[in-house]
Amino acid sequence: MRFASWSWGGRDHVGTISQDGREATPLAVRDPSLGTLPLIQAMARDEMLPQASGARLPVDVVTLRSPLPRPLRSLFCVGRNYHAHAAELAGSVFNAKPEAEAWPIVFGKLAECVIGPNDTVQLPAPAASVQIDYESELAVVIGRGGRNIPRSRAMDHVFGYTIVNDVTARDVQMRHQQWGLGKSFDTFCPMGPWIVTADEVDGCATRVRGWVNGTLRQDGQTRDMIFDIPTLIETCSRGITLYPGDVIATGTPSGVGMGMKPPQWLRSGDVVRVEIDGVGVIENRFE
């Protein structure tokens, strides 16, 4: 199934999206401003989905919001998790090696920077950053919580998948020698267009692509991750309880602006499109 959050008629709604992605059916959710989070939590308790509440609408007439407008807490994000991406950043970010270290690099991205799949990303003032980059990523949404989840059982904890663009201020990232600040500017996490449940897409074997102004920049396969999804869940849950609705962004393929020669930073008016097979498309203008 596909679960989404949208605005229509001056109100927020939560519901399902048809298999072809063309129709939205609202569900009777108590607080739709929370997006799909209450649905994920209820399904983790083995509760039934709410009944439909209202007529089906064409997706084209609604405004899709992030399926998790405010995730439960900071997103777990993974750095340098594709072999080719690790190689293209060698020597550029913290003396990155062509092959990542023995453990995944995990950092946090503030939940408050999440925006919708077609919302505008706000470029910061030049005094804050002039090196804005894009990162097309598959994101895992946790369905059943747990701590110290073994790799062998990790996929049992996956609710589904969505898309994020892990927008990054590279100069801030390098200046502070950590990743949280440069990743968490307001509007720096477009997410959507919905969550596709794990029974409908194999996140371990899908294609991630990203375009800037119509030019394909990124094209990778999740099977080429250095650390696969079960390993990431095992890592993030080591001594830390994961909760239904938690999000793990799994890293980006090669082709980011920083890896180009010379680097190509995003400018006002640029449009970044991210598409993941079996999940959908997000597209955001930078202003």
State the DSSP string of 222-275. GGGBSS-HHHHHHHHTTTS-B-TT-EEE----S--GGGSSS-----TT-EEEEE
- Angstrom CA distances, 33 to 82, 139, 183, stand at 35, 21, 24
Structure tokens at 149: 């989840």
CB 177 within 8 A of CB 144: no
Instruction: State how far the Cα of 171 lies from the Cα of 173, in Å rounded to an integer.
Output: 5
Tokens describing residue 100: 């990542």
What's the rounded Cα separation, in Å, for the pair 8 and 257?
A: 35
Fold classification of 75-285 (topology level): Fumarylacetoacetate hydrolase; domain 2 (3.90.850)
Rounded CA-CA distance 127/226 in Å is 35
DSSP state of 184: -
58 bridge partner residues: 23
Closest CA to 14 of 55, 67, 73: 67
Q: 8-13 long-range CB contacts below 8 Å, 24 or more apart? A: 8/57, 8/61, 8/62, 8/63, 12/65, 13/54, 13/62
pLDDT of residue 98: 45
pLDDT at 18: 97
On whether the CB atoms of residues 259 and 92 are closer than 8 A, the answer is yes
pLDDT by residue (tens digit) across 71-105? 999 999 999 999 877 777 766 554 555 444 688 99
Q: Sign of the C-alpha dihedral, residues 264, 265, 267, 270?
A: positive
Residue pair 231/151 in contact (Cβ under 8 Å)? The answer is: yes
Length of the chain equals: 287
Residue spans of the chain under pLDDT 70: 90-101
Per-domain residue ranges of the chain: 2-64, 75-285
Instruction: Report the candidate in 25, 36, 87 with the shortest Cα–Cα distance to residue 194.
Output: 36
Closest by CA to 271, choosing from 257, 253, 286, 256, is 286
pLDDT of residue 101: 66
Confidence (pLDDT) at 245: 98
